[in-house]
Amino acid sequence: MNPAQDSLAGLIAYLREYIPEFLSHAGLHGRLDFPSPAPDYPLPAEARRHLFLLVKEALNNVVKHAGAKEVRVRIQIESGRLLLSIEDDGRGFASAGQGQNFENGNGLPGMRRRAEMLGGKLDLRTEPGRGVKITVTMPLPARP
């Protein structure tokens, strides 16, 4: 997390290296769907840190709880907003009771707090046998 890389492009470059390595150590296949070339929006170090830790927590949850074979991480830019989604093909869950470790532990509440600190929101979609999809939507700063 180099301060000289205070941009969305810097974060995307870092994630392109981090995610495949992390997933390969866990025996999972990863699909990255990132804009190319990466958009050069300014992104302060604190925002990059929160986004990275969101991705890291989501990936940790997939490895520990999902029973997934594949994870897809996607970054999109729409109308001045960043949309970051992490989706797995794992077991999913039907209710907070079945996903208790995920919903009531430190994972999801911490990720929601990080999204809110970025001025955004976190959406969770899941159902049994269809995996989990987490989407973070946040405003991007104007380009200089």
Residue 11 has pLDDT above 70, yes or no: yes
How many folded domains does the chain comprise?
A: 1
pTM as predicted: 0.86
pLDDT in tens, 123-140: 999 988 889 999 999 999
Contacts 24+ apart (CB under 8 A), 25-31: 26/63, 28/62, 28/63, 28/68, 28/69, 28/70, 28/71, 29/69, 29/70, 29/71, 30/70, 30/71, 30/72, 30/73, 31/70, 31/71, 31/72, 31/73
Q: Which among 26, 9, 12 has a CA at the least distance from the CA of 55? A: 12
Does 21 fall in a domain?
yes
The CATH number linked to 98 is: 3.30.565.10
The residues with which 122 forms a beta bridge, in sequence order, are 136
CA 108 to the chain's CA centroid = 12
Does 107 fall in a domain?
yes
Residue 2 has pLDDT above 60, yes or no: no
Query: Residue 74 belongs to what domain range?
Result: 3-139
The residues with which 134 forms a beta bridge, in sequence order, are 86, 124
Does 144 fall in a domain?
no
Residue 57 has pLDDT above 80, yes or no: yes
How many other C-beta atoms can be found within 10 angstroms of the C-beta atom of residue 133? 17
Does 113 fall in a domain?
yes
Question: Looking at residue 6, what is its pLDDT?
Answer: 85
